[in-house]
């Protein structure tokens, strides 16, 4: 099967919660409109940034329906359906297709740990068959699940076995392996860049036309600007935007990363998405003030996404 390749950046949104921990669907239309206005091409919901593994299946279905309903024109909704239970994932994939999602994806489960490519292929087969007409993306993020498997071998193994396997969201540090996968079979598979801090070097290697990011939630304008500068041949501007993106990432790394620190930044730019779920340790008011000061020091609020 041949699918459209993604051109541009897809956002991995946070899941909004009420203070009591219940899912809050109310901010999603405004959230979607802001992302579209910031140059993002769609969303990859219920993944790591969205605390997907802390959601019930019913909550994940409700979020899928809300995002699809709120999606602006020409805005892709890809649903992460990965779970420790492959049967649940299959059902979530089927639901996503019934609701009108553009695509689906799944990372390897954190338990049981997958240690062989063949095990991963069987997991993918069962999930992808739940939505056989939608593109399926494997979300390679081994730091979360310990699945440090060779992705080039995965591409070779799924070929001919998973007809709707579209490509990989590649969130790992090996630009060499990323590029080898990009070139495999004359570029047959869609290799989505998954690390916001290394967009520019991936562009320079000749690929990375599409990507899925987490800091795009609040820094999407700058990350989109990297690609725009590269396309017009302005390497100095591309470097400046990439270096600024790394400065922002340096800040959130001091506040428990994108899922915790990044989610609180959304409040600072005008969209309070509530707390993180257990067992994440939420940002304290003192940490929020300190993080805001660090962001102000690099002129973040003059350059961030706008509502």
Is pLDDT of 59 > 90?
Answer: yes
Confirm whether 139 is a catalytic residue.
yes
Give pLDDT tens digits for 134-175. 999 999 999 999 999 999 999 999 999 999 999 999 999 999
Per-residue pLDDT band at 225 (split at 50, 70, 90): very high
For residues 32 and 266, give the distance between their C-alpha atoms in angstroms, rounded to a whole number. Answer: 13
Give pLDDT tens digits for 3-39. 999 999 999 999 999 999 999 999 999 999 999 999 9
Percent of the chain with pLDDT over 90: 97
Per-residue pLDDT band at 1 (split at 50, 70, 90): confident
Per-residue pLDDT band at 285 (split at 50, 70, 90): very high
Q: Which are the contacts of 59, defined by CB distance < 8 A and separation ≥ 6? A: 23
Per-residue pLDDT band at 209 (split at 50, 70, 90): confident
* pLDDT attached to residue 268: 98
Q: Answer yes or no: are the C-beta atoms of 280 and 51 closer than 8 Å.
A: yes
Give pLDDT tens digits for 89-119. 999 999 999 999 999 999 999 999 999 999 9
Give pLDDT tens digits for 120-132. 999 999 999 999 9
Is pLDDT of 193 > 90?
Answer: yes
* pLDDT attached to residue 34: 98
For residues 187 and 180, give the distance between their C-alpha atoms in angstroms, rounded to a whole number. Answer: 9
* pLDDT attached to residue 256: 97
* pLDDT attached to residue 307: 87
The separation between the first and the last C-alpha atoms of the chain, rounded to the nearest angstrom, is 39
Please give the biggest Cα pair distance in the chain: 54
Domains of the chain: 8-303 (3.20.20.70)
Q: What is the 3-state secondary structure (H, E, C) of the chain?
A: CCCCCCCEEEECCCCCECCCCCECCCCHHHHHHHHHHCCCCEEEECCCCCCHHHCCHHHHHHHHHHHHHHCCCCCEEEEECCCCCHHHHHHHHHHHHHHCCCEEEEECCCCCCCCCHHHHHHHHHHHHCCCCCCCEEEEECHHHHCCCCCHHHHHHHHCCCCCCEEEEEECCCCHHHHHHHHHHHHCCCEEEECCHHHHHHHHHCCCCCEEEECCHHHHHHHHHHHHHHHHCCCHHHHHHHHHHHHHHHHHHHCCCHHHHHHHHHHHHCCCCCCCCCCCCCCCCHHHHHHHHHHHHHCCHHHHCCCC
* Ramachandran area for residue 51 (φ above 0: left; ψ -120 to 50: alpha; else beta): left
Which listed residue (31, 137, 139, 218) is catalytic? 139
Six-digit token string for 187: 């570029």
- The average pLDDT across 175-179 equals 94
Which listed residue (36, 41, 76, 169) is catalytic? 169
Is pLDDT of 248 > 90?
Answer: yes
Per-residue pLDDT band at 208 (split at 50, 70, 90): confident
Q: Respond yes or no on whether the N-terminal peptide bond of residue 88 is cis (omega within 30° of 0).
A: no
């Amino acid at each position: 099967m041949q699918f459209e390749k993604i051109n541009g950046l897809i956002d991995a949104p946070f899941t909004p919660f009420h203070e009591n921990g219940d899912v809050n669907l109310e901010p999603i239309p405004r959230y979607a409109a802001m992302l579209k206005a910031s140059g993002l091409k769609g969303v990859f919901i219920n993944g790591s940034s969205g605390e997907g593994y802390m959601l019930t299946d019913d909550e994940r279905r409700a979020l899928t329906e809300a995002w699809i309903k709120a999606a602006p024109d020409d805005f892709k909704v890809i649903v992460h359906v990965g779970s420790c239970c492959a049967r649940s994932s299959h059902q979530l994939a089927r639901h996503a297709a019934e609701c009108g999602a553009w695509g689906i994806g799944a990372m390897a489960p954190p338990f049981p740990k997958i240690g062989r490519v063949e095990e991963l292929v069987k997991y993918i087969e069962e999930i992808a068959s739940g939505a056989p007409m939608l593109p399926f993306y494997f979300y390679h993020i081994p730091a979360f699940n310990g699945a440090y498997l060779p992705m080039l071998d995965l591409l070779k193994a799924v070929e001919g076995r998973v007809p709707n396997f579209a490509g990989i969201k590649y969130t790992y540090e090996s630009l060499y392996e990323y590029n080898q996968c990009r070139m495999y079979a004359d570029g047959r598979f869609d290799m989505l860049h998954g690390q916001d801090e290394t967009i520019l070097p991936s562009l320079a290697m000749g690929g990375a036309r599409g990507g899925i990011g987490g800091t795009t939630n609040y820094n999407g304008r700058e990350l989109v600007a990297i690609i725009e500068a590269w396309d017009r041949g302005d390497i100095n501007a591309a470097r400046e935007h990439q270096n600024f993106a790394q400065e922002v990432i340096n800040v959130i790394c001091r506040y428990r990363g994108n899922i915790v620190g990044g989610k609180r930044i959304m409040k600072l730019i005008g969209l309070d998405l509530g707390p993180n779920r257990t067992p994440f340790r939420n940002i304290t008011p003192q940490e929020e003030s300190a993080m805001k000061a660090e962001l102000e020091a690099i002129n973040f609020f003059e350059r961030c996404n706008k509502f």
